[in-house]
Amino acid sequence: MNTPETLLEDRLSGSLPSRFWRELFRNTGQYPIAILLIESLTEKWAYLTKPDLYALLLASALQAYWFARKAERRSPLQRFLGNLIAPAVYSFNEIAIEGTKFFNKPHHIIFWIFAAIVGLLDALQSGKPSFTSNLILIVKNVVYSQILFVSYIVFEIYTNPRHAVFTLEFFSDPSHVLIGLATLILGLSAGAADVNARNSLSLLKETTEKLKTYSEWLLGRDLLGRAINDSSAMRLSRQTRTVIFMDIRGFTRWSETRAPEVVADLLNDYYLSVERVLETYQVIKYKFTADEVMAVFINAEEAIRAAGDLRARAATCLKPYQLGAGMGVHTGTLVEGLLGAHNIRFYDVIGDTVNTASRIEKESAAAEIWISENTLAQLPALAVGAPKDILVKGKDAPLRVYPLA
């Protein structure tokens, strides 16, 4: 199952395929597209039969894929070198075919120049928006825009070789100056828009991270992940679950003689100990009510393993206070999902299974775990002690429970 972090990141940054295409057209493919245009215009249809085209496509795809995978976690050096993947792969393939004359074409050398410039800007740019980072982003967009102008110059050199010598004459043409200024202004404009979009996305990510934290407090990590992936997971539904209740024995009497700050410190340590255990299991829902913990599990096996870990962790946490916790475990059907009115709703579980688990827990002493017959039926090989029958409120017949070894 995907974690909430993965699901939220995919929603904000896109899945791997979407990041690949975005990287290809926003960065990696900028100059390769110019090369494709130059060579297809100069060589016509013959270009489609040459390996140059496919070597360039392969090189661009490899670089885009590399960046699409966890690009934000790359170091500055990795980001710089990553921008050299496409020109390196393309040059290697072309040199293997036509030798060093590959570099006789100016647009091949310019490929490396643009890649190095963009790579350097990427390496200098930090992950979070700042004045320097935003300025670098604008410069990067200007560099992208100049790819068009430089490609136009290269094409003019191929079609009108005298421009390769009389460079000043090239810029004496007002139309050429217009193209140069237009691409510059477009680059600045695109850079400003990119900065605005980046700042907005950063703010959105910060807000989403806070909302994710608050939602985990209310729903739990596992449930939040399922709800993001499938909104129907929040609907009321009848399910078979295993429920654990754990309660500190003698807590009320102990807390009456302690300062509120001491009681709060104990509860915070207790909650943290419980949370560290439960976050390693597939817990549908867990919640704290004073010194009581309720946790709902997908199956009995997961619940029993968690119960053992909870007992050990709770004993370590509560020993300095000379306290201990007892537990009750029961498996059965219940209704889970969103409850409440239109404006205030919460995710909870209701039913006799929940009530029975709570009442079994009341029969346990410190460090004891009592499980019901229903739970034991799910795990017939489980090692348990001698059973006992308990009277449970709301049930006519006694309920048989077993101590977990």
Here the CATH number for the domain that contains residue 278 is 3.30.70.1230
Quick one: CA torsion of 97, 101, 106, 110, rounded to 10 degrees? 60
Count of residues making up the chain: 405
Residues 365 and 244 in one domain: yes
Residues 284 and 392 in one domain: yes
Residues 190 and 294 in one domain: no
Tens of pLDDT, residue by residue over 165-215, are 556 677 777 888 898 899 999 999 999 999 998 888 888 888 877 877 777
193-213 in b/e burial notation, b at 16+ Cβ within 10 A?
Answer: ebbeeeeeeeeeeeeeeeebe
- Domain limits for position 86: 4-217
Residues 142 and 205 in one domain: yes
**Domain end position, chosen among 183, 217, 251:** 217
Q: Determine, yes or no, domain membership for 371.
A: yes
Q: Determine, yes or no, domain membership for 109.
A: yes
Q: Determine, yes or no, domain membership for 123.
A: yes
Number of domains into which the chain is organized = 2
Residues 136 and 20 in one domain: yes
Residues 148 and 274 in one domain: no
Q: Determine, yes or no, domain membership for 80.
A: yes
Residues 211 and 264 in one domain: no
Residues 204 and 252 in one domain: no
Q: Determine, yes or no, domain membership for 225.
A: no
Residues 134 and 266 in one domain: no
Tens of pLDDT, residue by residue over 105-126, are 888 999 999 999 999 999 998 7
Q: Got the DSSP string for 94-156?
A: HHHHHGGGGGGSHHHHHHHHHHHHHHHHHHH--SS--HHHHHHHHHHHHHHHHHHHHHHHHHH
Residues 98 and 212 in one domain: yes
Residue 307's closest CA among 237, 225, 223, 364? 364
Q: Are strands 324-340 and 369-372 parallel, antiparallel or unpaired?
A: parallel
Q: Determine, yes or no, domain membership for 228.
A: no
Q: Determine, yes or no, domain membership for 257.
A: yes
With a cut of 50, list the residues of the chain below it in pLDDT: 1, 4
Residues 311 and 168 in one domain: no
**Domain end position, chosen among 182, 217, 252:** 217
Taking residue 105's Cβ as centre, other Cβ atoms within 10 Å add up to 17
Identify the three-state secondary structure at position 204: helix
**Domain end position, chosen among 217, 244, 261:** 217
pLDDT at residue 177, as a whole number:
86
Q: Determine, yes or no, domain membership for 342.
A: yes
Structure tokens at 310: 């909870």
Residues 180 and 99 in one domain: yes
